[in-house]
Amino acid sequence: MSLGSEIARLRYEKGLRQKELAAKIGVRADHLLRWEKDYNRPRKAMLEKIAEALDVPVKTLLSAAESQELGGYLLQERDPELVQMLGEVHILSDEDLGILKAFVEAMLTKTQMYELLRGKSQEERKPLISVLRRKPAAPQDPIRKRKTAAAR
């Protein structure tokens, strides 16, 4: 199901007319019509307003593929250089890809942990912060590892 048809379906389930939903999110009804017909896509901020007005999470509006597509679009706007670099990862070795994946996973985990800490009292934070501040073991240098293996 497309983003537009999902917006239309949820709007219908809530018993809202296009004009009513458009007024709730602060756009003209013809804008909403274009989104529902998939002629255009709402920007992230507007997508959040639509989700709020329909009382659903943004992820509910998006299929997995659309969520990925929107994420790529937002990343392109935020950091085109990173998008260009990510477009070149296919030339990395399997070992380097594994290292990159581990690094990205660690950064995402750290961010998620900080999100979880938000709103906690200072006493509730202390044990969690100590875990976050613990330095991970340094990754082994793959070149040194190869040389050591070759010397044996």
**pLDDT of 95-147, one tens digit each?**
999 999 999 898 888 888 777 777 777 777 777 667 666 666 555 665 555 55
The pLDDT value recorded for residue 38 is: 86
The pLDDT value recorded for residue 103 is: 92
- Give the integer Cα–Cα distance in Å for 57 and 22: 18
- Predicted confidence (pLDDT) per residue in 48-58, tens digit: 999 999 998 88
pLDDT at 151 over 70: no
Give yes or no for a contact between 36 and 8, defined as CB atoms under 8 angstroms apart: yes
pLDDT, greater one: 19 or 119: 19
pLDDT at 30 over 60: yes
- Give the integer Cα–Cα distance in Å for 149 and 80: 40
| pLDDT (mean) for 61-81 | 70
Q: Where are the beta strands (DSSP E) in the chain?
A: none
**Taking the C-alpha atoms of 138, 151, 93 and 91 in order, what is their torsion angle to the nearest 10 degrees?**
110
